[in-house]
C-alpha cells in the first residue's frame, strides 16, 4: 500500500491547523503514524488521497449508520440544497424531525436542535441547574460528554471525588462543581449523593459507554441512577449522542427500559451533517428561552440541510428489521474476532452492545475506566496498523468504539476477520 500524498498533506496541514486536524483523535497520536487524508466514501468503504480503498469501521465516529453517501440521504440533500442552505427562521422540516424524534424516543416530549453534542450536553446541564436551583453535577470517570468546561474534568483518586480540570484553561473552581464517580459502581454513586445530595442538579451518563471503549452498564446500574436521582429530586440526563438510534429506535433507554428526564442526541440524528439535540420532560424544556428564562441560541441551529439528512436517516432506520440486521452483522464480526483471539491464544476481551464494540487486548474484562486503562495499548497500535495494511480502517485509538453500519456486507465482515487472523498469525509467531 502506498501512502505518499497523505504524508505531504499532513506536513503542509500542520503549518495551518494545530496537529493537522480539526479534532484531536483524528491525528492518530494513540497509534502513531500519519493520518490518512480521505477523499470520498461509498457504503462501508472510504478512499484516501493515494487511491487506497478501506473497509471503514469509524463511520465518522458514529453518525453513518447507513454508511457513506447513502442514496436516500443524498436525494434529500440535493433537493434541500437547491432551496437554500439556511434561513434563520423556522421550517416545516424542523417540526417533522422533532415529531419523529419524540415518537421514537418517548421520554422526549419537547426538544431543541443544536449543532453539536457538546452544545447539547452543555445546555442540558444548564437547564437541569435552573430547574433544580442547584449547582453540582455528577459524571462518571471515562464518560465523554463533549468539551464544555464543566464536563472536561477528570477524577481524583477514589471511587467518587471532586472533579479536577482535565485541560489547561478549565477553571478549578468550575471543575469542582462536577463530581466524578466510577462507572458501574453503585457505592460510588451512593457516596456522592450521601455527601452532596441536596446540591446535585443532575447526573449525566452514557447509558452504554462508548468513550472509554464500549462498556455496557452493569445490571441494575441505570435503574440505581434512576432511583437515586428521583429520590433526591435531581435530573437524570442520558447522553445518547452515540447510542441514540444505534442500539434501538429509542436508544439505550429503550433497550434497558429506563426513562431519563433529559436526553442528549447527536451523531446519527444528523445523518452525517452537524446536528444534535437535547430534549425531555416538557416541564423542564419549557424553562428554555423564549418560553422560559434559560438562555440558549444558535445561528445555524436546525439547519435545513442537516435536518433533511437527519430525517432521511431516521426514516430509513425506522424500517422493520434494522436492528435485527445490525445485531446479526455485529455479532458475526465479534464472534469472528473472538475465535481468532482463542485460536492464537491472545489475551483480550470484546465488549459489544448491538453495533458498537471494542476489542481490549491484555485484559479479561473491562467494566470501568480503571480496567480499560490496563489494556495493552502497544498491541492495539500494532493491531491498528496491521489491519490498516490489510485495508481495514479502525478507530485509531484503543478507547473508542468500532461501529458496524447497515452498509457492511458479509464479504466486508469476512475480510475483516480474515485480516485479523492474518495479523494475529504474524503477531504470535
Ligand X SMILES: *Cc1c(COP(=O)(O)O)cnc(C)c1O
Residues with active-site annotation = 144, 239, 267
Which parts of 18-142 are beta strand (E)?
A: 38-42, 45-48, 53-56, 110-114, 136-140
Count of residues binding ligand X (CB under 6 A)? 15
Site string for ligand X, 146-185 (x = CB under 6 A): x---------------------------------------
Applying the rule CB under 6 A, the residues between 254 and 293 that interact with ligand X are 266, 276
Toward ligand X, which CB reaches closer, 122 or 366? 122
Q: Is 123 in the site for ligand X (CB under 6 A)?
A: no
What is the rounded CA–CA span in Å between residue 2 and residue 360? 29
Q: Is 76 in the site for ligand X (CB under 6 A)?
A: no
**DSSP H/E element including 164:** strand 164-165
Q: Is 112 in the site for ligand X (CB under 6 A)?
A: no
CB of 267 to ligand X, least distance (A): 6
CB 250 within 8 A of CB 95: no
336: left (phi over 0), alpha (psi -120 to 50) or beta: alpha
CB of 105 to ligand X, least distance (A): 15
Angle at 18 (CA atoms; ends 39, 401), nearest 5 degrees:
60
Q: Which of 134, 137, 168 is nearest to 150 (CA)?
A: 137
Q: Is 242 in the site for ligand X (CB under 6 A)?
A: yes
- Residue of 192, 241, 340, 419 interacting with ligand X (CB under 6 A): 241
- Residue of 54, 131, 144, 323 interacting with ligand X (CB under 6 A): 144
Q: Is 206 in the site for ligand X (CB under 6 A)?
A: yes
Q: Look at the block and give the residue holding cell 452532596.
A: 196
Alpha carbon separation from 343 to 113, 346, 386 (Å, rounded): 48, 8, 18
Q: Is 239 in the site for ligand X (CB under 6 A)?
A: yes
Query: 298-326 burial string, b = 16+ CB within 10 Å, else e?
Result: eebbbbbbbbbbbbbbbebbeeeebbeeb
- Residue of 43, 210, 213, 216 interacting with ligand X (CB under 6 A): 210
User: Residues in the site for ligand X, rule: CB under 6 A?
Assistant: 116-118, 121, 144-146, 206, 210-211, 239, 241-242, 266, 276
Amino acid at each position: 500500500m502506498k501512502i505518499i500524498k497523505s504524508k505531504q498533506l499532513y506536513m503542509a496541514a500542520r503549518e495551518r491547523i494545530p496537529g493537522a486536524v480539526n479534532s484531536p483523535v483524528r491525528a492518530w497520536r494513540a497509534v502513531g503514524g500519519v493520518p490518512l487524508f480521505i477523499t470520498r466514501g461509498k457504503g462501508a468503504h472510504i478512499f484516501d488521497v493515494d487511491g487506497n480503498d478501506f473497509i471503514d469501521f469509524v463511520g465518522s465516529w458514529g453518525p453513518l449508520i447507513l454508511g457513506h453517501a447513502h442514496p436516500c440521504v443524498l436525494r434529500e440533500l440535493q433537493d434541500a440544497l437547491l432551496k437554500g442552505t439556511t434561513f434563520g427562521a423556522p421550517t416545516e422540516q424542523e417540526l417533522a424531525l422533532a415529531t419523529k424524534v419524540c415518537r421514537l424516543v418517548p421520554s422526549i416530549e419537547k426538544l431543541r436542535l443544536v449543532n453539536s453534542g457538546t452544545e447539547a450536553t452543555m445546555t442540558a446541564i444548564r437547564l437541569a441547574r435552573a430547574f433544580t436551583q442547584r449547582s453540582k453535577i455528577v459524571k462518571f470517570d471515562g464518560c465523554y460528554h463533549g468539551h464544555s468546561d464543566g464536563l472536561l474534568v477528570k477524577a481524583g483518586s477514589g471511587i467518587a471525588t471532586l472533579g479536577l480540570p482535565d485541560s489547561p484553561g478549565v477553571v478549578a473552581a468550575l471543575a469542582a462543581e462536577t463530581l466524578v464517580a466510577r462507572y458501574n459502581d453503585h457505592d460510588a454513586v451512593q457516596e456522592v449523593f450521601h455527601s452532596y445530595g441536596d446540591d446535585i442538579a443532575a447526573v449525566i451518563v452514557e447509558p452504554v459507554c462508548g468513550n472509554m471503549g464500549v462498556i455496557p452498564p452493569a445490571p441494575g446500574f441505570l435503574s440505581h441512577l434512576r432511583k437515586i436521582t428521583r429520590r433526591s429530586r435531581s435530573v437524570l440526563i442520558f447522553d445518547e449522542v452515540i447510542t441514540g438510534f444505534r442500539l434501538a429506535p429509542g436508544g439505550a433507554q429503550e433497550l434497558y427500559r429506563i426513562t431519563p428526564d433529559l436526553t442528549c442526541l447527536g451523531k446519527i440524528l444528523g445523518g452525517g451533517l452537524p446536528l444534535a439535540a437535547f430534549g425531555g420532560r416538557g416541564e423542564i424544556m419549557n424553562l428554555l428561552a423564549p418560553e422560559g428564562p434559560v438562555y440558549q441560541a444558535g445561528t445555524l441551529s436546525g439547519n435545513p440541510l442537516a435536518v433533511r439528512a437527519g430525517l432521511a436517516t431516521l426514516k430509513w432506520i425506522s424500517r422493520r428489521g434494522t436492528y435485527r440486521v445490525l445485531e446479526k452483522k455485529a455479532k458475526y464480526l465479534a464472534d469472528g474476532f473472538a475465535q481468532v483471539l482463542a485460536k492464537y491464544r491472545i489475551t483480550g476481551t470484546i465488549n459489544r452492545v448491538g453495533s458498537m464494540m471494542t476489542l481490549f487486548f491484555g485484559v479479561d474484562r473491562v467494566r470501568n475506566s480503571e480496567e480499560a486503562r490496563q489494556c495493552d495499548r502497544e498491541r492495539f497500535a500494532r493491531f491498528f496498523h496491521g489491519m490498516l495494511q490489510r485495508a481495514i480502517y479502525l478507530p485509531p485509538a484503543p478507547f473508542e468504539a468500532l461501529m458496524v453500519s447497515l452498509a457492511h456486507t458479509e464479504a466486508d465482515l469476512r475480510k475483516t476477520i480474515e485480516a485479523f487472523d492474518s495479523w494475529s498469525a504474524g503477531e504470535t509467531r
